[in-house]
Chains A and B, each alone.
Chain A
Amino acid sequence: MGVKIKMVSVAHSGNSIFGKNSISLSARSAKQCLEDAGLDPCDLGLIINTGIYRYRNTGEPAIAAIIQEKISKKRNNKDDQYNNRSTFSFDLINGACGLLSGIEIVDGLIKSGEISHGMVVTGDSEPFPGLSGGFSFNSAAAAIILSRSDDNKGFCRFRTYNYPEYSDEFSSSTQFERRGTGRKGKNVLNIIQKASYAGYCIDCAVRSLLDFYDESGIKPDEIHLILPSQSPRGFAGMMKERTGMGDNFIELPDKGKKVLHSAGPLFALKKVWDDNRFINSANIIFLTVGSGISVSITLYKN
């Protein structure tokens, strides 16, 4: 038995001044994903949210529970579905590598027979609009549904590589600051990204990828697609050159000064999902890189 991707969906705020809210965007992508997959909310045994920068820095309940409610509420008027007791939701936070951590958990639960379908949702937006320094991420969200499959294909190997010597290269936190003429205090999000961060991310990702090839016994020329993180800026482009994968290393075009953060790999997946390159590729690698520095890699077989 394997675990395969049933559907992927993305949502972004576009040029709208409204809807730049990670929770609404995440719920929108989750709802679309569910509809496209032809599933009901109660079919999902697990919902994991892996977004990092959350609207108003909501602490509780878990964003996943709010998403669960938003996708259940309008879709199902039937009491038996709305009152379902079959779904468990929680948030997982692991920087840009959280997405693959969430997918690994869903994969494990499906393989062990505990659930048949699970969803991972991820989305970021500026927690308090206008109250941040260095926030260079697009307001965007994406959702992926994984389902049980009768063949042995799908996700087959998950690995995470850590480089704690670079843990100071990227950090983000809020500080209470007094700003403006009235000197009223506000919680301000400050993102500190050293100039050397992107370079170290590339070095760590290349080292990790080579280790992954060694450990899994797969050769680089057997990989047909790589779906990577789209941040930090320049990461995907430089990795494309370093791996020599050309157009099969999916780099999304920059939109203005901002980049996709935790949802980046799913936006890359959506692109190749829609143009059928995903389904026509035998071996696909998902590669995420984030603060820590951590690199997560998984192999997917069609």
Chain B
Amino acid sequence: MATTLTDSPKKTPRSISRRVLGSSLLEALTTPHPVDRYLELVRPSWSLSEVRAEVIGVSRAAPDAATLTLRPNRNWQGFQPGQHVRLVVEINGVRRTRCYSLACSANESSALEITVKAHPDGEVSNYLNRHARVGMVLGLSQAEGAFVLPQNLPDRLLFISGGSGITPVMSMLRTLCERGYDGEIAFIHYSPTFDDTIYWSELAQIAAHHRNVSLAHVHTRESAGKLTGYFSRDHLLAAAPDYAAADVFVCGPPGLIDSVRSLWSEEQIEERLSSEHFVPPAPGVILGEAKGSVSFARSNIQKDNSGACVLEQAESAGLNPASGCRMGICRTCTCRKRSGSVRNARTGEISTAADEDIQICVSIPVGDVELEL
């Protein structure tokens, strides 16, 4: 437990201009519009409260993956390695929000890095791969997520990642190496072929410069490498024989996480395991049958989906959400859907993305849905 990871959080003094811009006098002069609505007209990344970032670098990490370097504005409060941000990008007039893990070292506060792999049906990932350019301004959340290194670092760490799940683990590794962590680090990465492997050359360099870092690369669809196929105990024995004594961080597709988790639980060392899923967008929904459940998150109520519109289901659950015309025109009932899919009874359109505003009087849940109600 030689090393700890924390830096005291940086407190930047508020500059004079920020004090003026954030003053209640200026707010009274711009009322009813927030000061931000004027600032962003001068420069899109300017804001008193929202985190926004300018793209300052775009590079190709693999044939189907782009690495973006982002300079956040002054509202960014830093992150712990392993955390992700919700990134907001506007595509054809519509803001889309997706989670991306930060891949850079946590020492870095002015050039954040994410790597976006283009998924076949991923609207945002494809857009960023094709259209991201220097100067573009994106919205960001503060860093989120509990997939982080412990405060007091253990003597032994094992990282297992699959595909683009490498990014949060990369951030952990970069941070540890920069801060001189001297415990043992084993890193096992899974990717279909060698060509898809993002960050590999940097990983190899890190391993060459740090005696405590060992690397194993498993190709799941090629038989060329030393280790092949999906995760197995054999891979562990070959690449990290002391796995049972290490704190383990695994990030990747659900299949990888499930197999790692079941092995760790078989050996009853599950408490040493932390994992992060990258949940792919919900698959196509089947219409007709009412399935799943409707959760009203703020009220902490969960009910079986009756097939009625969300508004009626909320009311029959005893809630009293705002509503008006009940025919989809007045927007009194608009409410944030946290997750799940709903079908708009007026248009037939299906909303699958997380964190979207829906008109609950004409939205029929399709499977599990969670609402801010």
A binds B: no
